[in-house]
C-alpha cells in the first residue's frame, strides 16, 4: 500500500548530501508538511508514495538548500559603499559612522528583506546572522520564510541599539525568550569578538546561551593582528582566552578562525564548536588563509559563510563554495585539497552542524525539514555533463554552476521561489526603498567628505578644541646658552620636559581644508630613555590669523584629538595630496613670567636638518590679551638673550612646503 505525501519531487538528480553522499539519478523526494519523509530512486519512491502535488524536476539537481554560516544581513544596504580599504579604515572610517547615523529597526528590516531575496535567489535556505536590532531581523527573516540563526550583538562600545552593553544583554535575553521554539528562527547571542568585548561581557553572554540552550556566535581570530594583541596582552591565543571566560561551555559558532593553531582546533573540536569559514571576506580584506583542511582533519564542523555584503560584496554562496575549494588548494599547494564534494558538504550538512541545527536541515534525509532547492545544470556555462564518476556531479555544481542557475527554493515545506519568481517578497518595492536610502547615505557621506574637519569628526571619539596662541620664534646658533639662561630668577619653572617629536603633516589640494598633523610625542627621561609615547592629531588652520605686535604671531589650532589609530590609518582615510615628515628634539619648559603662563620650547629640527629654534608661546582668548602676551613674549626673548636672533614668522611646515 502506498503512503500519502503532500509533494513528490520526481525526475531529479538527487544529491542527498547524507552520510554516504547517496545520489539518485533519476531520484525522487517525498515531503509531508514541513518534513522530508522519503528520499530514493524515482522508481522506489513513486511505488511507495502518492501526493497531491507531483513536481517533474525536468532533470534538474535537487539538493539541500545552502547554509550561509556567517553574515550580517542588513549590511546589504551598505554594499559597495567603500571598497579596497584596510579593515580599520573601512570599519571606523565608513561603516561605523554610517551605522551610527542610519541603523534603526526600519533599516535592519529593509536590509534583511533584501538579503533574504538575494539569498533565496541564490539557493540559500538558512543563514546565521549577527547584527543589531536582531528582533527585527528575526521577524523579517520569518516573514520571508527563511530559516535563520539570529544573534543579537553585544559589544563594549555604544551600539545603534544600545548605549551600554548591559542594554544589549537585557535586549538579548528578551529576544531569546521571545523567539525560542519558533519553527524557523533560532535566537542566539553574539558577543561580537574578544577584542570588542570584555571578560565580563563574554561571561554574561555564555551564561545566557547556556541558560536558554541557544548558540553563541562570535568572531574568533580573524586577523593576525588580533592574535598578536591577545598574546601580548593576555599571554595566550584567542581560543584559550575565550575558554577562560566560559564561552566554550555554550554552543559556539566561531566565525573566521583564520589564525588558530592545532591546539586551538582540538579545544574547539572537544566542545563541538562550529566554525564559519568566509573565503571572499578573508581574501578581500587580506585577513589570511584559514586552515580549513587542517580544521577538517581535526574533526571540526566547518561551514561556509559570505560574511556581511559590505565586505564581499554579495551573498552568493555558489561563489563562496567555489572559492573555499580554490583557496584551500592554493593555500596548501595541493590541487587535490578540499575536493568539490567536501566543499559542498561544508555548505550544506556540515554547515548546519556547525550552526548546531544539523538535526533540522543540511541534507535530504527522512525526518529533516524540507529545505531544498532545484538547480538547472543545462545552461551553457555548465555543459556538457559527464557521469563517469559520481564526483562529477559535485564538481559541476562547485566549479561551474552559478547562483543564477537556482530556479526553485523550498524552506520548511513552503515554497519561497518557483521558476525564479520570489513568492514571499516584493522585490521591486524593496529595491525602490533601498535606492531611496542609498541616496540619503550617499548625501551624508558626500557632505562629510567635503571637509577634512567633518571626516575627522566622523571618526568619533575626538574632541573639538579650538585654541588661539601667541607665538614668538627665533632661529638660534648656540642652544646650550639658553638652557643656562632659563635659570634666571625672573622665570619660575613649573615643569620641564624632554621630547622627541615625530610629526607627519598631511597637505591637501584645497588649502582652505587646513593641514592635519599627526604627532608622536616620545617623552625622554633623565637616563635618555623613552618613558612614554602619545600620539595626537591636530587640524591646523591654513593661515595665521595675523601678527600681534612686532614679530609675534597669532595662530589658531582648530581641532585637537588623541590619535587612537595608526598614522597609516589616517593616511589611507584622509588621502592627503602630500605628506611631510619632521623630526624634532624638544626641550620644553612650562613657566610663569610676570604672573603669566608661557611655554618655552628649544627645538632641534633633526629631519630635515634645519638647526635650532627657540619658541615662546602662550594660549590666548582675546585680542587685548594677545597684545599683552605678545609684549611679554618679546621681553622673554630679550631676557634669554635672543633679541638679536633671526625671527621666524613661518611654521616649519610652511617653510618646508613653500617650494
Interacting residues with a copy of itself between 289 and 308 (CB under 8 A): 289
**Interface pick for a copy of itself out of 271, 283, 523, 610 (rule CB under 8 A):** 283
Could you give the residue ranges of the DSSP H alpha helices within 317-418?
317-332, 340-346, 349-354, 391-395
Q: Could you say which of 392, 454, 481, 578 contacts a copy of itself (CB under 8 A)?
A: 392
Q: Which of 2, 3, 50, 383 binds a copy of itself (CB under 8 A)?
A: 383
Q: State whether residue 608 is helix, strand or coil.
A: coil
Do residues 416 and 407 touch, judged by C-beta distance below 8 A? Answer: no
Q: Does 34 bind a copy of itself (CB under 8 A)?
A: no
- Candidates 1, 386, 494, 622: give the one binding a copy of itself (CB under 8 A): 386
Sequence-distant (6+) residues with CB within 8 A of 94 are 81, 82, 85, 445
Assigned C-alpha cell, 202: 563574554
User: Rounded to whole angstroms, how far apart are CA atoms 76 and 141?
Assistant: 14
Query: Does 334 participate in binding a copy of itself (rule CB under 8 A)?
Result: yes
- Reduced to 3 states (helix: H, G, I; strand: E, B; else coil), residue 435 is helix
Q: Does 376 bind a copy of itself (CB under 8 A)?
A: no
Cα–Cα distance between 567 and 362 in angstroms, integer?
Answer: 46
Sequence-distant (6+) residues with CB within 8 A of 383 are 377
| Shortest separation between residue 272's beta carbon and a copy of itself, angstroms | 28
Count of chain residues binding a copy of itself (CB under 8 A): 80
Q: Does 427 bind a copy of itself (CB under 8 A)?
A: yes
Nearest to a copy of itself of 274, 308 (CB atom): 308
The minimum distance between CB 426 and a copy of itself, in angstroms, equals: 12
* Max CA separation in the chain (angstroms): 115
Please report whether residue 86 would count as binding a copy of itself according to CB under 8 A. Answer: yes
Binding window for a copy of itself (CB under 8 A); candidates: 129-137, 324-332, 365-373, 525-533:
324-332
The stretch near a copy of itself (CB under 8 A) out of 101-109, 112-120, 127-135, 293-301 is 112-120
Among the residue ranges 293-301, 310-318, 527-535, 596-604, the one whose residues contact a copy of itself (CB under 8 A): 310-318
DSSP state of 65: P
At closest approach, how far in Å is the CB of 73 from a copy of itself? 13
Nearer Cβ to a copy of itself, position 332 or 535?
A: 332
Under DSSP, the state recorded for 412 is T
Q: How far is CA 59 from CA 3, 13, 24, 321, 381, in A?
A: 24, 6, 11, 23, 17
Indicate whether 25 belongs to the interface with a copy of itself (CB under 8 A). no
Kindly tell me which residue out of 125, 152, 325, 363 binds a copy of itself, with binding defined by CB under 8 A: 325
The continuous run of DSSP H or E covering 416 comes out as strand 414-418
Spatial distance between the Cα atoms of 354 and 215, rounded to a whole number of angstroms: 10
Q: How far is the CB of 494 from a copy of itself (least distance, A)?
A: 46
Could you tell me the sign of the dihedral formed by the alpha carbons of 579, 580, 585, 591, in that order?
Answer: negative
- Member of 232, 333, 532, 659 binding a copy of itself (CB under 8 A): 333
Q: Is residue 20 close enough to count as binding a copy of itself by CB under 8 A?
A: no
Q: Is 12 left (phi over 0), alpha (psi -120 to 50) or beta?
A: beta
Going by C-alpha positions, the residue among 383, 230, 290, 246 that lies closest to residue 69 is 290
| 38-46, 247-255, 325-333, 631-639 -> range binding a copy of itself (CB under 8 A) | 325-333
Q: How many CA atoms are closer than 13 Å to the CA of 222, on its beta-carbon side? A: 23
Instruction: Specify the 3-state DSSP secondary structure of 280.
Output: helix
Instruction: Please tell me the number of Cα atoms within 13 Å of 656 on its side-chain side.
Output: 20
Only one of the segments 356-364, 385-393, 461-469, 554-562 lies at the binding site for a copy of itself (rule: CB under 8 A); that segment is 385-393
Give whichever of 558 and 571 is closer to a copy of itself, judged by the CB atom: 571
Q: Site residues for a copy of itself, window 114-153 (CB under 8 A)? A: 114, 117-118, 121-122
State which of residues 315, 410, 537, 561 lies at the interface with a copy of itself (CB under 8 A).
Answer: 315
- Window 430-459: residues binding a copy of itself (CB under 8 A): 430-431, 434-435, 437-438, 441-442, 445-446, 449
Amino acid at each position: 500500500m502506498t503512503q500519502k505525501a503532500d509533494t513528490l519531487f520526481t525526475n531529479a538528480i538527487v544529491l542527498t548530501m547524507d552520510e554516504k553522499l547517496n545520489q539518485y539519478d533519476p531520484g525522487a523526494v517525498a515531503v509531508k508538511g514541513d518534513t522530508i519523509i522519503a528520499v530514493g530512486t524515482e522508481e522506489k519512491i513513486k511505488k511507495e508514495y502518492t501526493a497531491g502535488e507531483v513536481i517533474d524536476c525536468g532533470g534538474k539537481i535537487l539538493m539541500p538548500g545552502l547554509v550561509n554560516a556567517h553574515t550580517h544581513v542588513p549590511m546589504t544596504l551598505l554594499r559597495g559603499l567603500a571598497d579596497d580599504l584596510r579593515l580599520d579604515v573601512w570599519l571606523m572610517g565608513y561603516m561605523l559612522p554610517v551605522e551610527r547615523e542610519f541603523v534603526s529597526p526600519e533599516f535592519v528590516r529593509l536590509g534583511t528583506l533584501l538579503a533574504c531575496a538575494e539569498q533565496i535567489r541564490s539557493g540559500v535556505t538558512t543563514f546565521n546572522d549577527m547584527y543589531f536590532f536582531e528582533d527585527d531581523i528575526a521577524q523579517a527573516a520569518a516573514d520571508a520564510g527563511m530559516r535563520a540563526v539570529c544573534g543579537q550583538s553585544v559589544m563594549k562600545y555604544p551600539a545603534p541599539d544600545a548605549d551600554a552593553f548591559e542594554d544589549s544583554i537585557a535586549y538579548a535575553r528578551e529576544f531569546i525568550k521571545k523567539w525560542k521554539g519558533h519553527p524557523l528562527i533560532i535566537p542566539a547571542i553574539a558577543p561580537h569578538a574578544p577584542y570588542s568585548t570584555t571578560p565580563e561581557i563574554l561571561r554574561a553572554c555564555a551564561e545566557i546561551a547556556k541558560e536558554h540552550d541557544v548558540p553563541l556566535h562570535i568572531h574568533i581570530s580573524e586577523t593576525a593582528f588580533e592574535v598578536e594583541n591577545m598574546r601580548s596582552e593576555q599571554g595566550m591565543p584567542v581560543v584559550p582566552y575565550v575558554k577562560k571566560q566560559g564561552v566554550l561551555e555554550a554552543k559556539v559558532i566561531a566565525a573566521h578562525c583564520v589564525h588558530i593553531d592545532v591546539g586551538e582546533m582540538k579545544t574547539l573540536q572537544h566542545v563541538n564548536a562550529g566554525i564559519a569559514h568566509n573565503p571572499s571576506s578573508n581574501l578581500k580584506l587580506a585577513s589570511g588563509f584559514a586552515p580549513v583542511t587542517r580544521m577538517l582533519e581535526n574533526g571540526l564542523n566547518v561551514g561556509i559563510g559570505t560574511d556581511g555584503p559590505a565586505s564581499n560584496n554579495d551573498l552568493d554562496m555558489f561563489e563562496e563554495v567555489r572559492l573555499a575549494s580554490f583557496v584551500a588548494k592554493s593555500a596548501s599547494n595541493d590541487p587535490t585539497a578540499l575536493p568539490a564534494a567536501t566543499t559542498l558538504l561544508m555548505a550544506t550538512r556540515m554547515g548546519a552542524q556547525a550552526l548546531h541545527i544539523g538535526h533540522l536541515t543540511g541534507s535530504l534525509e527522512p525526518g529533516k525539514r524540507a529545505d531544498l532547492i532545484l538547480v538547472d545544470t543545462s545552461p551553457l556555462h555548465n555543459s556538457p555533463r559527464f557521469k563517469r564518476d559520481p564526483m562529477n556531479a559535485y564538481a559541476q555544481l562547485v566549479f561551474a554552476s552559478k547562483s543564477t542557475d537556482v530556479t526553485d527554493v523550498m524552506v520548511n515545506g513552503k515554497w519561497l521561489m518557483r521558476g525564479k519568481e520570489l513568492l514571499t517578497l516584493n522585490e521591486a518595492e524593496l529595491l525602490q526603498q533601498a535606492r531611496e536610502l542609498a541616496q540619503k547615505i550617499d548625501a551624508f557621506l558626500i557632505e562629510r567628505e567635503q571637509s577634512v574637519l567633518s571626516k575627522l569628526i566622523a571618526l568619533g571619539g575626538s574632541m573639538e578644541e579650538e585654541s588661539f596662541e601667541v607665538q614668538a620664534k627665533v632661529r638660534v646658533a648656540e642652544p646650550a646658552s639658553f638652557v643656562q639662561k632659563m635659570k634666571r630668577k625672573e622665570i619660575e619653572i613649573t615643569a620641564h620636559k624632554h621630547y622627541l617629536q615625530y610629526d607627519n603633516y598631511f597637505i591637501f589640494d584645497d588649502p582652505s581644508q587646513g593641514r592635519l598633523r599627526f604627532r608622536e610625542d616620545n617623552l625622554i627621561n633623565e637616563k635618555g630613555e623613552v618613558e612614554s609615547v602619545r600620539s595626537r592629531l591636530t587640524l591646523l588652520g591654513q593661515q595665521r590669523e595675523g601678527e600681534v605686535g612686532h614679530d609675534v604671531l597669532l595662530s589658531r589650532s582648530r581641532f585637537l584629538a588623541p590619535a587612537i589609530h595608526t598614522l597609516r590609518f589616517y593616511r589611507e582615510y584622509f588621502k592627503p595630496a602630500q605628506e611631510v615628515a619632521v623630526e624634532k628634539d624638544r626641550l620644553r619648559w612650562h613657566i610663569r613670567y610676570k604672573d603669566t603662563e608661557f611655554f618655552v620650547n628649544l627645538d632641534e629640527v633633526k629631519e630635515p636638518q634645519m638647526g635650532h629654534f627657540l619658541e615662546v608661546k602662550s594660549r590666548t582668548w582675546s585680542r587685548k590679551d594677545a597684545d599683552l602676551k605678545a609684549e611679554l613674549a618679546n621681553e622673554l626673548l630679550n631676557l634669554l638673550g635672543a633679541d638679536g636672533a633671526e625671527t621666524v614668522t613661518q611654521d616649519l611646515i610652511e617653510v618646508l612646503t613653500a617650494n
